[in-house]
Structure 1
C-alpha cells in the first residue's frame, strides 16, 4: 500500500442532549459550531471536526484498560507547561471536572478532564514536532 493515512479529521463523541452538550463545548472549550440538528452537532475544535452524536444514557468514548482503569480516547495538546497550567486553572474556574496535573514519566505534563456526559479527555503540555513545524511554532 503506497497511500498513508494523513491525519485524524473527525472524532465522534456520544452525548445524551445535543443542545446542552453543544453549549458546553462552545462555552467551556471554545469550539465553533458548524452544523446542528436533533441528532448531532458538528464542531470545529483543536484543528479537527468533533461530532457530538445523540446516544443513550451512559454511553461514553471511554474504555477500560487491562488493569480495569477507565481511560480517555483523545488527548489534546497545548504549547508548553505554562499553557497547560493556565488551562488547568481556567477549567477549574469554569467548574469543569478536572484531575490534577500529572507527571507520567515522559516529556511534559498532563491532566484529564470530563465533559457533562462523562467523556474523559487528556491535555498534554507538548505539541508534536510535526505540528510545530507545519504551523511554524517556536518554543
Structure 2
C-alpha cells in the first residue's frame, strides 16, 4: 500500500450551531465527543473522526446530480438487513428525518436520513468485505 490512499480518516460537515449539533450527533447517532469549541466539534463516529464546522446558514454537504436529484456525500454501513431495519425503526422513534428503506437494484438495502442542518446521509445494509475481514465479523 505504499503511496496509496488507505482509508478515509475524517469527514467535515457544515452546521449552524456546533454545540446543538454535537449534542444531536451524540444523542441520536451515538457519537463520542473528543473536542469542542465555538467553531468546531470533533466526534468519533463509525470508526472515523467527524468534524462539525460552524458554517453559514443553508450550507450542507449535499449536492445535486445531473438529473437534479439531491445526493448524499457519505454512506454508513451496518451488518445486514436486520440491523438496517432496526436502525431505521430507532431513527424513526427518535424522530430523525428518514427516508423509506429502498431497493436500489444492487446487493442490500438502503435508507437516507438527515441531521439538524439538512446534511443528508445514506445507510447501507452491507459491510465492506475488507472491514468484515479486518474486524473478524461474519
1:82-112 deviation digits (Å, cap 9, x = unpaired): 0000000000000000000000000000000
Which consecutive residues of structure 2, in runs of 5 or more, have no partner in the other structure? none
1:11-67 deviation digits (Å, cap 9, x = unpaired): 000000001000000000000000000000000000000000000000000000000
Matched position secondary structure for 2:24: helix
Q: Which residue of 2 aligns with 1:133?
A: 133
Matched position secondary structure for 1:49: strand
Alpha-carbon distance in structure 2 between the residues aligned to 1:125 and 1:54 = 31
Q: Which residue of 1 aligns with 2:40?
A: 40
Matches within 5 A, 1:42-81: 42-81=42-81
Matched position secondary structure for 2:92: helix
Q: Which residue of 1 aligns with 2:119?
A: 119
Q: Which residue of 1 aligns with 2:99?
A: 99
Alpha-carbon distance in structure 1 between the residues aligned to 2:69 and 2:20 = 28
**What RMSD, in angstroms, separates the aligned Cα atoms of the two structures?**
0.5
Q: TM-score, normalised by structure 1?
A: 0.98
Alpha-carbon distance in structure 1 between the residues aligned to 2:98 and 2:5 = 32
Task: Tell me the matched-pair count.
Answer: 137
Alpha-carbon distance in structure 1 between the residues aligned to 2:77 and 2:129 = 11
Matched position secondary structure for 1:98: coil
Alpha-carbon distance in structure 2 between the residues aligned to 1:15 and 1:23 = 12
Q: TM-score, normalised by structure 2?
A: 0.99
Matched position secondary structure for 1:127: coil
Alpha-carbon distance in structure 1 between the residues aligned to 2:79 and 2:27 = 21
